Amino acid sequence: MVIKPSPRLAMLLLLSHAIVSTVLYVTVMPLPAKLVMLILVLLSLFYYLARDALLLFPDSWSEISFDQDSVYVVTRDGSGFFGQIVSSSTVSPYFVVLRVMLQGHRLPVFRTIFPDALDTGAFRELCVHLKFTQ
């Protein structure tokens, strides 16, 4: 399954970071602390937009394929890795939170995939596969 850039994820990231920035603005903190926090929020926004929504980084996921309970992920730079799908992955008609335990790593990797990032049939196939492996 080829993963494409996701405008829905980009809008959700923009909205959530705007809400956090607004809450940060109205809190009672010294101005230097607010500025530091705002810079951190903006850096987070740029990072996740580039990596997950727009797929600009070399380690952005560009393709995924499944085999039983394992997954093979190809990144934008052409490298790939195997992992196990963790049962706590979330499946809904609106999005999928894919939780993958990489071989040789202790912590899982999470990726949110919206329907606009895959073809309609591919998103449906992903949902069905994850429902039956959990």
Quick one: which of 99, 50, 56 has its CA closest to 76? 56
pLDDT (mean) for 17-23:
96
Q: Tell me the pTM.
A: 0.86
18 token code pair: 């705007």
What is the per-residue pLDDT across 79-126, written as a single tens digit (0 to 9) for each?
A: 988 999 888 889 999 999 999 998 888 899 999 999 999 988 999 999
What do you get for the CA distance between the two ends of the chain, in Å?
A: 20
pLDDT (mean) for 36-57:
96
- Domain 61-133, CATH among 3.40.462.20, 3.10.129.10, 2.30.29.30, 3.40.50.1820: 2.30.29.30
